[in-house]
Chain A
């Protein structure tokens, strides 16, 4: 699904990603972890072609991202769903409209939209909130709307950038269950996170990035000391 071959990206001499080699299969669930500024965002932005690699080759699905022209970027992104930490819903649109918007943008017909949106809303469990505006929802509900928007066009890849960052632990667990469920239906998921407990509990593949290098790629643990919780950890050892 995703391959990075010797990918390097620097910003005015500062390393973003150095000689990265990654292979993610279709249907995988991968956590991308590492300290702030380690290169996780660079990794995501390269997949979306928000930035271009200095060298190396990146492929996503059937697309060779590194060889793509700017004109083809929209097509690439239509195959990728994205969820953000801050949800990024449109405040003046209802839940239904926010989700439908993702279909309007790629010129789906009214009929298709009317059929598909309720399906997805019920899949993420917020059918009853369809006519509400984002500010009338809880954070967890807003993230569900964002997930609905991300998966409505059946992407083969879902990128989640710290999706639980603004949520309390219980809500975070619900969102993770939802993502897991989406993964089970065949969608590849790449999730950037700092949530040690979630990573340790889910026991999925973990790719750790530090100072631009991929330092670890294995199933299991978060591996870093949780930022801000460093002191407690040291006492435990």
Chain B
């Protein structure tokens, strides 16, 4: 029936009666979620960057000597195309290469206009089935004449993946610690209200209240503290991140040729993650704080 309203009413009453501790635990959870938010934002961006790089570089770039004619290039292409790991071969002329570069540089592309003669070579873009076979294909290419240089990014991508993995693991470990701390803080806050109502709880037990009926208001108290903290920290993280994207987003784009994840796109995930964590921290904290009072 109206047991939800009953629990909420009791919980809010408890929170306001214990203002000091309630604020303290909100601060603690918020602080830990902000740190978590920082790691989350970092990880998401590094992930995006890695994906971008991977998508760009499941290709091998073969730069041709300027003396290599179109016909010779075609011959190389035909032979490369039959290799088992090669999915596609594309010819890119000097002109096309410059166009693409201009496009990528965006509003800074005017810098390229001062180049005079196009310094970019003609090239072949070989799309391979996956990066693992890059070495295989490269050694096969070594047999052809008219090739100036071969570029592929296996190592770069591997390093990037390592960084992402490391960030994710670090994030998990730090998060685990912070979650434990938050749970302890919340459970202490709630323990205060539990003790203030110890007599009431013992009477409730004698009358035949179920453990969940007794727990209800304290459970709600924990969850409310958790939800409130997660909203605050999601708000702060979002605000700060949008500022950061606004301030250095374009520079990052130029330097790393990869965009930052847009703040709006991040917001939804951020709020879901924070809410889930806040609610579970609050719930765990309240259940732990009540354990001693309910084990009959």
**A interface residues (Cβ-Cβ under 8 A, vs B):** 48-50, 70, 73-80, 82, 88, 90, 101-102, 104-107, 109, 149, 153
Min distance, Cβ A99 to any Cβ of chain B, angstroms: 11
The answer to the question of B296 belonging to the interface, with a C-beta cut-off of 8 Å to chain A, is yes
The answer to the question of B139 belonging to the interface, with a C-beta cut-off of 8 Å to chain A, is no
> Hey, what's the 0/1 contact readout for B199-224 against A, CB within 8 Å counting as 1?
11011111111110100000000000
Task: Please judge, given known A-B contacts A49-B296, A105-B204, A107-B1, whether A74 and B209 are in contact too, CB under 8 Å.
Answer: yes
Taking CB atoms, residues of chain B closer than 8 Å to A105 are: 204, 207-209, 213
CB within 8 A of A77: which of B3, B6, B205, B213? B205
> Hey, what's the 0/1 contact readout for B90-132 against A, CB within 8 Å counting as 1?
0000000000000000000000000000000000000000000
* Across the A-B interface, the 9 shortest Cβ-Cβ residue pairs: A78-B208, A77-B208, A105-B209, A74-B208, A74-B210, A102-B207, A105-B207, A82-B206, A105-B204
Interchain CA distance A139-B206 in the complex, whole Å: 21
B side interface size, CB within 8 A: 17
Min distance, Cβ B17 to any Cβ of chain A, angstroms: 11
Min distance, Cβ B259 to any Cβ of chain A, angstroms: 55
Taking CB atoms, residues of chain A closer than 8 Å to B209 are: 74, 105-106
Residue pairs across A and B with Cβ atoms less than 8 A apart, 18 shown, are: A48-B206, A50-B296, A74-B208, A74-B209, A74-B210, A74-B211, A75-B208, A77-B205, A77-B208, A88-B199, A88-B202, A88-B203, A90-B203, A104-B6, A105-B204, A105-B207, A106-B207, A107-B213
Which residue on B lies nearest to A49, using beta carbons? B296
Taking CB atoms, residues of chain A closer than 8 Å to B207 are: 77-78, 101-102, 105-106, 149, 153
Taking CB atoms, residues of chain B closer than 8 Å to A109 are: 1
Max count, chain A CB within 10 A of own CB: residue among B1, B203, B208, B211: B208
> Hey, what's the 0/1 contact readout for B1-21 against A, CB within 8 Å counting as 1?
101001000000000000000
Max count, chain B CB within 10 A of own CB: residue among A75, A107, A153: A107
Which residue on A lies nearest to B206, using beta carbons? A82
Which residue on A lies nearest to B212, using beta carbons? A74
Taking CB atoms, residues of chain A closer than 8 Å to B296 are: 49-50, 70, 73
Min distance, Cβ A63 to any Cβ of chain B, angstroms: 12
Taking CB atoms, residues of chain A closer than 8 Å to B199 are: 88, 90
Min distance, Cβ B296 to any Cβ of chain A, angstroms: 6
Other 15 A-B pairs with CB < 8 A, given A74-B210, A107-B3, A153-B207: A48-B206, A75-B208, A76-B208, A77-B205, A79-B208, A80-B208, A90-B199, A90-B203, A104-B6, A105-B208, A105-B209, A105-B213, A106-B207, A106-B208, A107-B1
Taking CB atoms, residues of chain B closer than 8 Å to A73 are: 296
Taking CB atoms, residues of chain A closer than 8 Å to B206 are: 48, 77, 82, 88
Which residue on B lies nearest to A91, using beta carbons? B199
Max count, chain B CB within 10 A of own CB: residue among A76, A78, A101, A105: A105
Interchain CA distance A123-B283 in the complex, whole Å: 43
Min distance, Cβ B269 to any Cβ of chain A, angstroms: 39
Min distance, Cβ A112 to any Cβ of chain B, angstroms: 11
Interchain CA distance A74-B207 in the complex, whole Å: 8
Taking CB atoms, residues of chain A closer than 8 Å to B203 are: 88, 90, 101
Are B208 and A90 in contact, CB atoms less than 8 angstroms apart? no
Which residue on A lies nearest to B202, using beta carbons? A88
Which residue on A lies nearest to B203, using beta carbons? A88
Taking CB atoms, residues of chain A closer than 8 Å to B210 are: 74
Interchain CA distance A80-B213 in the complex, whole Å: 18
Are A90 and B3 in contact, CB atoms less than 8 angstroms apart? no
Taking CB atoms, residues of chain B closer than 8 Å to A101 are: 203, 207
Min distance, Cβ B217 to any Cβ of chain A, angstroms: 12
Which residue on B lies nearest to A78, using beta carbons? B208
B176-213 contacts to A, CB under 8 A, are: 199-200, 202-211, 213
Taking CB atoms, residues of chain B closer than 8 Å to A76 are: 208
Interchain CA distance A28-B208 in the complex, whole Å: 23
> Hey, what's the 0/1 contact readout for B126-145 against A, CB within 8 Å counting as 1?
00000000000000000000
